[in-house]
Chain A
Amino acid sequence: MGYQFSIHHAHMSSGMIKQGRKLENKRISRRGFLKVLGGLAVTAGAAAVFWEMWRPKGGPSPTRTLKPNVYTQNGKSLVSIVKGNSDTDIETLVRRAVDAIGGIGKIVSTGKTVVIKPAVLTSDPNCAPDPVVVAAIAKMAKEAGGTVIVAETSGNGDTAYNLSKVGITLAAQDVGAEVRALPSEEEILIEVPLGTKLTTVKTYPTVYNCDVLVSVPRLKRHGSTAVTMSLKNMMGTVPQSEMNRLHNVDLSQCIADLNTVMKPDLTVVDATYAMAGQGPTGGEMVEMDTVMASGDPVAIDMVAAERLHKLEQQLGIASFDPAEVRHINSAAALGVGTNNIDDMTIIEESIS
């Protein structure tokens, strides 16, 4: 008997039976061709729009270029040096230093955005300004009615971590300032019209668009540029990749060029402890209990360099020639400020 039905091995190859489909030899029609063309045009247009939106933009003409220094007297730049002793309240020192040259009210008024830029290279508190100094300036700016942002790009490591580790994040937030790690923002490309070696540079919107820029470095030596103070602090307004590029071009000249578009309106140098002998890391921390302030970054760098040189001579450490610091001289040549002692008025005060 037995008609047999074939055993259906439908499930053998785990259920996926391919349906063969014959690809016919199709010729493309006119309509099809136009569709493809239209599609390409739309894609190109969309790509162009996206490119416009996402590329690093050249900004409008720089808003921060060489504004005149407001902290002057009889045409000379004012530089204040306030010295205390180990017990002096640091905030008092800062307030005295800034008030001695004219007070923060000269640059900050209600509604202005104030960016405080501390020099935070690593997570080592010795390399960064004292958080109390940063907080004091933030407080003063807030009292004058400004909105305060503390911003920085660390050269080494993660900026947010470094700011937190050196104590600046907490100190700034305690006085109501916002803390921003610049690398979290999108880079913008700006022109440097007065630059000799630098024609364009990448930076961040926060520092570029602010009304008032306050530079807060610590008094430190440096391996190649001899000192790192206010002028070199502006390296922290560019991305880490850009910092590399500037070293490749010509570091000292690039620092000077950068300061033509990133000139700080006020500089407060934290010299409570100075790093002598070696820098910007690994040097000897020497107690100086001093805070300096000026509206002229070149002048204050010049004065601070001389003070550091004197300190090193006192300590018997091999020192540098403050008149030969290239980036200070180049910046003076570009008109960022003055490095001539005769064009400065130095106000020295002592608080006991």
Chain B
Amino acid sequence: MIGKIEISRAVTALLAICFLAAAPILGIMYGTTSAVTFGSFTLISPLELALVSISARTIPVNLVVPGLIVILIIVFFGRFFCGWICPMGILLENSHVLTIRKRRKGVGALWKNREKWAILLPILAASFLFGFTAPYIFSPPGVVYRTILSLMFRGVIGADLMVIFLILALDLFAIHYGRTWCNTICPLGTAISSLSFINFVKPKVDHKRCIDFDFNCLDCERICPMRIPVTRADRWAMMECNKCLKCWASCPVKAVKIDGFSRVLHGMIERPYPVFAAKKTQAQKSSRLSMAGPSQPLSSS
């Protein structure tokens, strides 16, 4: 059952692609997710800026303001690109029906995302040590947009399109739940989430309504594609949030609120199926550890 939110997000991603394809014909904007130019005014994505600066050993002066604008948007609004604009993300979410194996569910298993650092940091190091910046081709939105532009302007499809299929195949074989590429591997995603310090728009659990203490619910955590433990997340865990609004939509008691958007979303809750949670035993209630799966709980600081 596809919810309204999922449709809105897919439509937004599609509109972004249409805009990107139409803009150069109208002459208002050129570029892809790496960098865009509006004629006199450019914007550059933070990962690209980092790679250029590191491999060239200096930050090009004309890129300071373009990079800063994008960084500030990310600092204040977080990782919304991954949830609403990235075509790869939409594709991955909707292809999970094709998952090869049954995925292991681990509630709020954010700790499983750590591999991404073993990917982003070597990429930065490689650009520093031997000027190797080819990992640009592993930025899927860049690949999708470049393919479209190459098709429109040159009539050819680049070979790097197979990266998309590679990532899709990888994700279908993933062991753990959620958008594995997005939360464990994608260097662009990692870069964005590591900048989302202030992050105005994020889910917040109203603990007076949350039934987790009495029932085995945690629907919000089970559904989060970024594996964020929604009920217990501190602001550092929430940096991963890509604003997909699934936690908000799946809470049976409307305990998840979205900071800053509650009024707007107020009437839009969708509950396609009633959810019955099982009542917890006393022992379960006293041990919150049992809900966190085989991992450590979050830092209690």
Contact = CB atoms under 8 A, between A and B. Distances in A.
B278 A7 contact: yes
Given A7-B216, A10-B272, A11-B219, A17 B278 contact: no
Contacts of B249: 11
Interface stretch (B92-100, B128-136, B158-166): B92-100
A2 interface: yes
B278 A14 contact: no
A11 B246 CA distance: 9
Interface string A7-36: 111111111111000000000000000000
Interface string B83-117: 00000000001101101000000000000000000
A9 B273 CA distance: 10
A15 B6 contact: yes
Interface size bucket, A side? 10 to 19
B15 interface: no
Contact of A8 (B99, B177, B225, B275): B275
B222 interface: yes
29 contacts: A2-B279, A4-B278, A5-B277, A7-B275, A7-B276, A8-B274, A8-B276, A10-B1, A10-B275, A11-B219, A11-B223, A11-B246, A11-B249, A11-B250, A11-B273, A12-B222, A12-B223, A13-B97, A14-B93, A14-B94, A15-B2, A15-B6, A16-B1, A16-B2, A16-B94, A16-B96, A16-B97, A17-B97, A18-B97
B278 A5 contact: yes
Contacts of B94: 14, 16
Given A4-B278, A10-B275, A12-B177, 18 more contacts: A2-B278, A5-B278, A7-B216, A7-B278, A8-B273, A8-B274, A9-B222, A10-B1, A11-B223, A11-B246, A11-B249, A12-B223, A13-B96, A14-B93, A14-B225, A15-B1, A15-B6, A17-B97
A7 B223 CA distance: 13
Interface of A: 2, 4-18
A67 to B, nearest CB: 43
Nearest to A2: B279
Contacts of A15: 1-3, 6
A14 B178 CA distance: 9
Contacts of A18: 97
A257 to B, nearest CB: 34
With a 10 A CB-CB cut-off, give which of A10, A15, A17 has the most chain B CB atoms.
A15
Among A7, A11, A14, the most chain B Cβ lie within 10 Å of the Cβ of: A14
Interface in B266-294: 272-279
B3 to A, nearest CB: 5
B230 to A, nearest CB: 14
Contacts of A17: 1, 97
Contacts of B3: 15
Contacts of A12: 177, 222-223
B6 A14 contact: yes
Contacts of A8: 273-276
B276 A14 contact: no
Interface string B209-225: 00000001001001101
